[in-house]
Amino acid sequence: MKLTFKKKALAAIAVAGVAALSLAACSSGAGGSSSAGLASGFGSRAENRTAYFFTYYNPASDAFWAQIQKGAEDAAALTKQETTFQTADGDSATMVNLVQAAIANKPAIIYMPFNEGEAWVDVACQAHDAGIPVIAYNVPAPESAGDCVLGFVGQNFYEVGTIIAKYALANGVIKPGDVVEITAEEPDQPYAIQRGGGVRDTLTAAGVTVKDPADWLRTGGDDAGALDALTSYLVANTDVNVMVPVGGTPHRNLPAALQAAGRTDVKVIGFDTAPAIIAGLKDGTLSATADQQGYVQGFQSVMQGGLYIDFGFSPANINSGGNGLINKDNVANIEAPDLQGVRY
């Protein structure tokens, strides 16, 4: 179950610029500098500087994916990649259609996550076969993608799942005899399976009852639907006294769900950052969160792309970090107003 990375050469990380374009429905643009690249040729050497950056959930309504896109926009501006930003809005078929349309435009590079795993391998390989490099972020491409994907920037989900669980045990958030439910936008996607697996393996070894993966609560990526699903679950399952959201959507909606269900006794420890999660950590409603550092995922992916198209440096597999947990004691480090959209 532990996440494994394909071995790639390590790439250097540097700076340079973009002008982002806006296309059709499901797209948004980001402005960039019009100045030339560096004297070395970084930011200007490659004649084709067009790029497509795809998000799974919509950054306009999802704080975590907004952080990813902000990192990508900043790196695109530095590396002068003329980048089109588009979102699948949580729909797998839409992602396939968007990537296929991008291939027809023959960009210099494509950046995409692999939330739906195998469902997107074929289209990534279509890009590769057309001579368009693909860099993955957030969720790695399955092994079946082979050389169709050059590198990956994101967390080791299983490892961070174990870190969350060990923290919860060590700090009394979870103890033997508790009943734990794991919840995610899509419990059958790789991120949820791996994060939840790390949590479940660690807690069950300590004598904690964790619900079977077949019973993990699906919330979807929409906030209103997630709030309803969480509230209904908490009302109906009074034996559960700990919730572990392994995705940002259920985590940011749990404070309101606990109030609506009259279950403020339930403890919560989870993943990702958003304004509601920051507020919950400050007032004690939430215990701690593992920060995926979404900005890093977008930024490092696009920086590696700039190095590849200008100099041919091999993209690396980069752990986006976030192994240090955020709790009430250290949340002030990231909650400055000017960090909203970057850190939460």
Express each pLDDT in 286-343 by its tens digit: 999 999 999 999 999 999 999 999 999 999 999 998 888 999 999 999 999 999 999 9
pLDDT-derived band at 14, boundaries 50, 70, 90: very low
Residue 29: pLDDT over 90: no
* Average pLDDT score, the chain: 91
Q: How many CB atoms lie within 10 A of CB 64?
A: 26
pLDDT at 88: 98
Same fold, 27-154+293-322 and 157-290: yes
pLDDT at 6: 39
pTM for this entry: 0.88
Q: How many CB atoms lie within 10 A of CB 123?
A: 21
- The mean pLDDT of 7-18, rounded to a whole number, is 33
pLDDT at 35: 63
Q: What percent of the chain has pLDDT over 70?
A: 90
pLDDT at 235: 98
CA–CA distance, 308 with 313 (Å, rounded to integer): 5
Helical H segments across 83-144, by residue range: 92-104, 121-129
The CATH number fitting domain 157-290, selected from 3.20.20.20, 3.30.565.10, 3.40.718.10, 3.40.50.2300: 3.40.50.2300
Instruction: Give per-residue pLDDT as tens, 65-111.
Output: 999 999 999 999 999 999 999 999 999 999 999 999 999 999 999 99
pLDDT at 19: 31
CATH 3.40.50.2300 fits 27-154+293-322, yes or no: yes
CA–CA distance, 256 with 203 (Å, rounded to integer): 26
pLDDT at 323: 85
CA distances to 197, 233, 252, 263 from 241, rounded to whole Å, are 19, 12, 18, 9
Our CA angle for 210, 213, 216, nearest 5°, is: 85
Instruction: Give per-residue pLDDT as tens, 145-172.
Output: 999 999 999 999 999 999 999 999 999 9
The domain limits of the chain are 27-154+293-322, 157-290
